[in-house]
Chain A
Amino acid sequence: MENKLDITVSRAGRAGDVTVLALDGRLHTGTARILETKLNELLIHDGNQKLVIDMSRVPFLSSAGMRSLLAGAKTARSRGGGLKIAALLPDIRKLFATTGLDKMFDVHDTVDEAVAAF
């Protein structure tokens, strides 16, 4: 499976203090490390606290991908912030419901809603 995941980082929110990560690619064992590294860089190194993950271009999510999202949420919470999930594609939304991830994460229909929820 292709090990390519593009991550575009932008700022949002009225105070510009929300970091939006737009993911583009399949999130699985081969690409989860890319996301983990980016999340650690943003949360630990750069000191960001409020993250929104834009999932609108993630057509596949494996358990390794779930792990990286859970790890990011945990790190964000431990630093007084949070990680919100936005714009899940239908298959992934179903997966979130099956696994209960929709109850473990703050999930929003759109990036704007997720940003506004902080």
Chain B
Amino acid sequence: MRSNSEHLLVIGDDKATRDAVSRHLERRGYRVTVAEDDRQALDLIAHQPFDGVLLDVTSPGTGAVEVLAQIQAGDRGAHLPVVVLSADGEIERIAQCLEMGADDYLREPLDPVLLGARVAATLERQRLRKQVQAGLKREEVLAFERDVQIAREIQASFLPESIPQPPGWEIAVSFHPAREVAGDFYDVFPLSNNRRVGFVIADVCDKGVGAALFMGLFRSLIRAFAQQHHTLSWMDALIDDDPVVHATWPGRRRGVPTIGASALRDAIGMTNNYIARTHEQAIMFATVFFGALDPTTGSLLYVNAGHDSPIIVGPGGVRAELEPTGPLVGVIPGETFDIGEAHLDPGDTLLAYTDGVTEARAPDGTFFTEERLMGLVAQPASSAAAIMERVEASVRVFTGDADQYDDITLLGVRRASLL
């Protein structure tokens, strides 16, 4: 015989029956509480959890059938298994109780063995029902996790399958998504009739499926606007100037040349206007760095829209930080984004990153920091991929067992050294 800790409520106005039932059940190891009438029974059920009810419906005066209805109507009673006790010859009342959802019945005079068996079987069925319900909950959790996985796969499909590698250049990317879906992305594609290589690194605000959806939108708009411009880019050869009027942003330059400049500015400006106007209520924004590289000369034009400054490092250490030329994208419609200009000499590497790197956290909560990143990047390296691997390894060691809170994305562009 198994040891029972289940708590049963015995309801009935006949003391002799109550006592007999209680005694038999207690002998089988159940905890038993008794109620003499419906009011007391409902009060007890409302205030403590029971595993089952034995309801004596013999006496017509107790309104036992109504008690059953009320038990089942209550919050706690709805799933409470009920075994009905009845004197012989009251088949109709038993049938009524079973129709109302009672789980089983016993007739008096009571047989202790039968009582034990029926109660045990009823409680076992209840346990199985609960397991099935818990199983359904697990199913729901699994379905949610599948959705997150699908979101992650769709997100990954927005990243380029292959990275253009112009002769004399190395372009490398690495992307470590956080467990929770987040909104980093990168993109590399030809611009201006293949005369420029466009590359983008961006971080869409916040986390979760919302960030992932907007990541897809930002990425598509930037590329579509940049390449839509591409179809008009015969004008680039004619319009040889994109003058910059004001210089309030640190990365801003005056009188910048040319090919790719308006593609950059229009792609970011139009994306900004689209998100800020069409999705005004969502308040979704991104920090974006968009560069247009001339692989023949090493000249680089860029828009840095509120993104962490990419670093240019040469054989002698850090040469430049490409500071913002405008605010983050998607908040203020009509915002202008200016063009910055830089140059990559042979042996130089540009490293762009998202704040998942600098804000990576050690188990004690301290940040990786920009200073630590700078220290790693400044050391000599044979390739962009080597610098990125060094950074990744250092972040891994730094964070140890701590959770990765945010996506970690790195993009490196290196100009080969002269032989």
Residues of B within 8 Å of A97, CB to CB, are 324
B327 touches A67 (CB 8 A): no
B308 touches A98 (CB 8 A): yes
Which of A2, A67, A100 is within 8 Å of B206, CB to CB?
A67
Does A45 touch B at the CB level, under 8 Å?
Answer: no
| Shortest Cβ gap from A51 to chain B (Å) | 17
Does B219 touch A at the CB level, under 8 Å?
Answer: no
| Interface set of B (CB-CB < 8 Å, partner A) | 203-208, 283-285, 287, 306-309, 323-324, 326-328, 331-332, 359, 361, 365, 405
Closest B residue to A102 by beta carbon equals: B327
| Interface set of A (CB-CB < 8 Å, partner B) | 1-2, 29, 32, 60, 62-64, 66-67, 70-71, 74, 97-101, 103-104
Which of B206, B306, B309 is within 8 Å of A64, CB to CB?
B206
| Shortest Cβ gap from B369 to chain A (Å) | 10
A104 and B329 CA atoms in complex are apart in Å by: 12
Residues of B within 8 Å of A66, CB to CB, are 205, 285
Q: A1-B361, A1-B365, A1-B405 are in contact. Are A104 and B331 (CB under 8 A)?
A: yes
A104 and B316 CA atoms in complex are apart in Å by: 38
B332 touches A71 (CB 8 A): no
A104 and B365 CA atoms in complex are apart in Å by: 30
| Shortest Cβ gap from A67 to chain B (Å) | 5
A74 touches B206 (CB 8 A): no
Residues of A within 8 Å of B285, CB to CB, are 63, 66-67, 70
Residues of B within 8 Å of A2, CB to CB, are 365
Closest B residue to A59 by beta carbon equals: B367
A99 touches B306 (CB 8 A): yes
| Shortest Cβ gap from A26 to chain B (Å) | 9
| Shortest Cβ gap from B111 to chain A (Å) | 58
B405 touches A99 (CB 8 A): no
A63 and B284 CA atoms in complex are apart in Å by: 10
A67 touches B287 (CB 8 A): no
Residues of A within 8 Å of B208, CB to CB, are 29
| Shortest Cβ gap from A5 to chain B (Å) | 15
Residues of A within 8 Å of B326, CB to CB, are 100
Residues of B within 8 Å of A104, CB to CB, are 327, 331-332
Residues of A within 8 Å of B206, CB to CB, are 29, 32, 62-64, 67
A98 and B284 CA atoms in complex are apart in Å by: 17
A100 touches B324 (CB 8 A): yes
Can you list 18 A-B contacts with CB-CB less than 8 angstroms, sorted by A residue number? A2-B365, A29-B206, A32-B206, A62-B359, A63-B205, A63-B206, A63-B285, A63-B287, A64-B205, A64-B206, A66-B285, A67-B205, A67-B285, A98-B308, A100-B324, A100-B328, A101-B328, A103-B327
